[in-house]
Homo-oligomer: A and B are copies of this chain.
Amino acid sequence: MDEAYESLKHLPFTDLEFAKVDNHRAMRKGFPEVIFCQGKTPGQIKTIAQALLKNADALLATRADEAAFEAVKSVEPQALYHAQARVISVDKRADKKAVGNIVIMSAGTADLPVAEEAAITAEMLGGSVKRIFDVGVAGLHRLLSFYEIISQAKVIVVAAGMDGVLPSVVGGLASCPVVAIPTSVGYGAHFNGLAPLLTMLNSCATGVAVVNIDNGFGAGYLAAMINRIGEETPGMEAKDSG
């Protein structure tokens, strides 16, 4: 058995001591490792960004504050900071193409940071994204006016805080997969997102799956994976996998 594992040692990653950058991920997943900035120092983020950009034309960093952005910008001047979504992106790919049809919805205005994180992630992974914000069910006609867009989507992401009701209603209307994101928007018996999380997990509508509270990135990533099916979008080739 030792022999078997031995051979795995030669797969590509960059050992930075405090981090092991997974250079093989682009091959496996179609996009390089994404930097989750929370809990990392600007210095660590800078070093990881450098290691990643050696092998790739694009970079995504989430949960990023201004200091994280400065760190990445010092490595790559074309880096952009999406403040509301707390996302840093670098995109120097020659042939960008937005395929498929991803609809990203939010129940309220306060859910926008999460919904935007999902939207930017999905766009970075090559998805064509439509945004529909603030269509909670307290005014059902607002939602129903977008019925056509909903019924034509290839995959839908729905971010909702408070009671987290929107994904159930959208799931009842749509014929495509729905990725539900509970958000931490709320108060009291909302328990920082527990309430909409439970609502969504118990949804009676079929075709609904759930990601972690406020995990716009995860929902956007999954939506992009689903959206890629049947499209000619080979994802990102790693420049150099060694």
Q: Which residues of A line the B interface, CB within 8 A?
A: 1-11, 13, 16-20, 22, 24-25, 27-30, 33-34, 36, 38-40, 44, 48, 63, 107-110, 112, 133-142, 144-145, 147-148, 151, 154, 162-165, 168-169, 171-173, 175-177, 179, 182, 184-215, 218-219, 221-222, 225-226, 229-230
Contact = CB atoms under 8 A, between A and B. Distances in A.
B189 A202 contact: yes
Report copies per complex: 8
Contacts of A140: 169, 172-173
12 contacts: A36-B110, A38-B185, A39-B185, A137-B205, A140-B173, A165-B199, A187-B215, A191-B198, A206-B222, A209-B209, A209-B222, A226-B226
Nearest to A40: B109
A204 B168 CA distance: 15
A18 B141 CA distance: 17
Given A11-B141, A109-B44, A214-B187, A222 B195 contact: no
A81 to B, nearest CB: 17
A20 B210 contact: no
A110 B10 CA distance: 26
A226 B177 contact: yes
A212 B226 contact: no
A138 B225 CA distance: 16
A142 B27 CA distance: 15
Given A11-B141, A201-B213, A208-B211, 6 more contacts: A20-B134, A20-B135, A20-B142, A36-B108, A177-B225, A202-B212
A137 B148 CA distance: 18
A102 to B, nearest CB: 13
A110 B204 CA distance: 13
Contacts of A176: 225
A155 to B, nearest CB: 8
Nearest to A210: B210
B110 A38 contact: yes
Given A20-B134, A140-B169, A189 B212 contact: yes
A140 B4 CA distance: 12
B184 A188 contact: yes
